[in-house]
Amino acid sequence: MAINNSLFDEEQIQKAKEDFQRVKYDTAQQQFVEDSAQILSEALNINLLAVKGFILRAVKKWQNDYQTSVSELATRPPSDRLAAINDIIKKFKESLIRILKDPKEEDQLNNAIKIAMTTYLKKYAGRT
């Protein structure tokens, strides 16, 4: 179930695209962002560069909160990685909720994120 892109504030979508185009990040962050963005872009029907910008914002918030780098997650057990991903997705979702044109569409956003998380879990959660 894809969300109609017009449900989001187009100006904020554009800013997220611009944010992503300016950022530099390490290899581990790049892989996480690329993989996650593809899944979320399809589920949310939002421009891929904008999704990458929103993900990077969420990753930066997570890194600040936990004073650690995403690259360090590769050495952690799957349960730690899953907890981190859940927290990053929560931050991602919070930023999208703020730009929904109609707050009543939050359920649709939640459903799309659940689909994306299910895909992510099937593909990555079991890695050791």
Query: Global pTM?
Result: 0.74
| Per-residue pLDDT reduced to its tens digit, 19-53 | 776 666 667 667 777 887 888 888 788 888 888 88
**Mean pLDDT value of segment 90-101:** 91
Q: In this structure, is residue 4 part of a structural domain? A: no
Closest CA to 15 of 43, 54, 42, 46: 54
C-alpha distances (whole Å) from 91 to each of 87, 98, 127 are: 6, 11, 23
Q: Which structural domain range is residue 13 located in? A: 9-125
Structural domain contains residue 87: yes
| Total domains in the fold of the chain | 1
Taking the C-alpha atoms of residue 39 and residue 117, their distance in angstroms, rounded to an integer, is 8
pLDDT tens digits, one per residue of 64-95: 899 888 778 778 888 888 898 889 989 999 99
pLDDT of amino acid 1: 47
Dist CA 112 CA 108 (whole Å): 6
2 is a domain residue: no
Q: What is the pLDDT of residue 128?
A: 54
74 within domain boundaries: yes
Any domain includes 113: yes
- Does residue 16 fall inside a structural domain? yes
